[in-house]
Each structure stands twice: as C-alpha cells, then as structure tokens.
C-alpha cells in the first residue's frame, strides 16, 4: 500500500498534461502511485497517458467514456490503493515538496484531512499570487473543527466558507471514497464541495498547512471563449445531498445551506445570459426554474449580512433580471479587458 494515491482526471488538457504529470513524478517524497483517468479525452491525452505509463511503473492509466469530472474522480478512487488520496487537476501542477509536506504532517499528527495553500498561476504575463489562509494554520481536533470551522463550513452570512476545492488537499482514503462515491455525476457546479464539505463534517481531525505547494492555473482566455450555460439541477442536487448526508440541526447548518444554494443558484441564473436567445425567452425560463420548491424556499429563507449576499438574494426574490443581465455584461467586459 503506497502512502498516497494521486488521482488526475484528464479531459482535453493536452497543452498542460505533461507539466502536470512531470510535477508529480518529480516529487521529493516517492511513496505514491499515480492514477491517470482519461475521461474520453478527444485530443492526444490518451496517448500521452499511455506513454508515461510505459516509462514509470508507479503510473496506472484508466481509459473510460466521457462522463464528466465527478465520474472520473470516482473511477480513480475506485482503484486507488493509497492510505491517503491526493487529487490534481490535469491543467494544474504541484511543487516538488507537495507530498513531502503532507507526509511530514501525517507522521506527526495523522489527521483525516490536510489542506494547503495554493498559487493562482495566471497566464498572459499576469503575475502569480498566493491564496490567503482563512483559518489559522495548524492542527484541528474534532472540538476545534466544531468551534472554528463549522460556523462557516457551508456558507456563513458574510459569504465566507471552507475552501471547497478537492485539490490542494490530502484525504484519508476511506473518508474520501465514501463521500466522493455519493456525489451525483450530473453535478457540474460545486462538485468539489459536494465531496469536501461532508468529509470535513465527519472528520475527527484536520491540519491546515501554511505552505503553498499547489499551482492553480487561471486560463483567462479559455474562461471567456468557453462561456457556458450552467445546469439548473446542480444547486438542487447538492442541496439534497447535504440534507441526506449531514445533520443540519447542528450549528446553523440549515441556514448555511440556504445561503449556499442561493449563491450557486445566482451563478446559474447569471450564466443563462450566455445563451444566444431573446431576453424574454431567457427570463421566462429563469422564472420557471425559480419557482421550484427547493429554490423558492432557499430564496425566501436565505439571510446575509454581506452586501453581495443581500444583492444576490434580493435580485432573485424580486426578479431583477435586467440588473442581473447588466451584472453579466460587466463581468464579461472585465474578462475581455484582462485578456487585452
């Protein structure tokens, strides 16, 4: 059993995948296996994966039909043998001491979850910056998790929440597998938090490292070119998953979930204006979906102190669609300026 199973879901990242895999193989700590999950990638990634597997016995390649990020992570977790699972996205890369840092923490504290800081790696000549630590660094017992992390685990009233990304973390394998396998494959928004939040909720210990050893690529060009319309079902699927997995009577988790669902729902609504369709048709569709039982309840009950949270809630509650469309246009203009 290796110490770590590094799972890399791969889809259409031919430009970046070699840097990603090389960064894992060049780790200073060497007790790990690498699982490359080719999620039916249409480019040259499948060939590249097989090429690496032939050269290094620590690499296993899984080729599958395209099913999305969640299904790829599940497939990797299903065959992982490591004591801990570490996820790296195919267009990101990790520093040489990434696994060594995790192992040092495991040797001293043996936590269920370790999280580290990361570097926003910008393209187009933009300078990099490091993520800020929202919580104090160090070891968290269950009591400390409850007292210091639970109040903002899902979504507090200041629009703050526990870092939801699956990457930049190491999970004890049994904990990760249990909750990753329960994430619905259809979830395309907040799919990371759908696994991370239940893992933290059930974790007995956690360690927050001050080291920034993961590089999170910010490809602004692709963000603008690939403007997507997000699925309506995503926020509701995550909402129901939390209801089934977590005791929402603890703390103020029910109120936190209302806020999280409204935040994600607002993101979905904004994305509808990416559609090349008449404004009235888009608005009619938005109104239909906002009338669902889950979304109606969350919009009615979500309470924020932060102005941006209040703006999201009020714009949905009072159907301020012209303002939402303007918000969408302003954000799009900002992206274009960043590229220029």
H/E stretch holding 289: helix 279-290
pLDDT surpasses 80 at 128: no
Per-residue pLDDT of 6-33, as tens digits, reads 999 999 999 999 999 999 999 999 999 9
> What are the respective helix, strand and coil percentages of the chain, to the nearest 5?
50, 20, 35
Domain spans in the chain, listed from the N-terminal domain onward = 4-218, 225-339
Model confidence band, residue 225 (pLDDT cutoffs 50, 70, 90): very low
Per-residue pLDDT of 138-161, as tens digits, reads 999 999 999 999 999 999 999 999
Please state, in angstroms and rounded to a whole number, the distance separating the CA atoms of residues 121 and 165: 16
pLDDT surpasses 80 at 335: no
Residues 6+ apart with CB under 8 A from 239: 257, 260, 261, 294, 298
- For the segment(s) 4-218, the CATH number from 3.90.550.10, 3.40.50.150, 3.40.50.1400, 3.60.150.10 is 3.90.550.10
Find the mean pLDDT for residues 89-95: 95
Cβ–Cβ under 8 Å, residues 152 and 299: no
Please state, in angstroms and rounded to a whole number, the distance separating the CA atoms of residues 115 and 118: 10
Model-level pTM?
0.91
pLDDT computed for residue 188 by the predictor: 86
pLDDT > 70 fraction of the chain, expressed in percent and rounded: 94
Please state, in angstroms and rounded to a whole number, the distance separating the CA atoms of residues 167 and 195: 11
């Amino acid at each position: 059993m290796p110490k770590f199973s590094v799972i890399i879901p791969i889809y259409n990242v031919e430009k970046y995948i070699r840097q990603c895999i090389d960064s894992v193989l060049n780790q200073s700590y060497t007790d790990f296996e690498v699982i490359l999950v080719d999620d039916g990638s249409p480019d040259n990634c499948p060939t590249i994966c097989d090429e690496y597997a032939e050269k290094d016995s620590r690499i296993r390649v899984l080729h599958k039909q395209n099913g999305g990020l969640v299904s790829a992570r599940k497939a990797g977790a299903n065959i992982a043998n490591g004591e801990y699972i570490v996820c790296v996205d195919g267009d990101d890369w990790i520093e040489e001491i990434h696994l060594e840092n995790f192992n040092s923490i495991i040797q001293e504290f043996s936590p269920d979850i370790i999280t580290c800081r990361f570097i926003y790696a910008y393209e187009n000549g933009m300078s990099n910056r490091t993520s800020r630590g929202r919580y104090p660094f160090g070891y968290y017992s269950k009591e400390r998790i409850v007292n210091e992390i639970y109040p903002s685990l899902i979504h507090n009233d200041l629009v703050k929440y526990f870092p939801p990304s699956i990457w930049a973390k190491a999970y004890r394998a049994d904990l990760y597998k249990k909750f990753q396998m329960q994430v619905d494959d259809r979830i395309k928004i907040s799919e990371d938090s759908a696994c991370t939040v239940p893992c933290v909720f059930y974790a007995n210990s956690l360690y927050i490292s001050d080291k920034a050893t993961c590089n999170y690529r910010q490809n602004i060009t692709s963000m603008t070119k690939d403007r997507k319309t997000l699925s309506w079902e995503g926020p509701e699927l995550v909402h129901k998953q939390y209801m089934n997995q977590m005791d929402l009577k603890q703390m103020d988790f029910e109120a936190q979930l209302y806020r999280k669902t409204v935040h994600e729902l607002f993101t979905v609504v904004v994305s509808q204006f990416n559609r090349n369709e008449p404004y009235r048709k888009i608005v009619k569709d938005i109104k239909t979906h906002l009338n669902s039982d889950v979304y109606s309840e969350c919009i009615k009950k979500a309470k924020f102190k932060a102005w941006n949270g209040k703006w999201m809630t009020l714009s949905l509650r009072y159907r301020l669609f012209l303002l939402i469309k303007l918000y969408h246009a302003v954000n799009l203009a900002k992206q274009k300026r960043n590229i220029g």
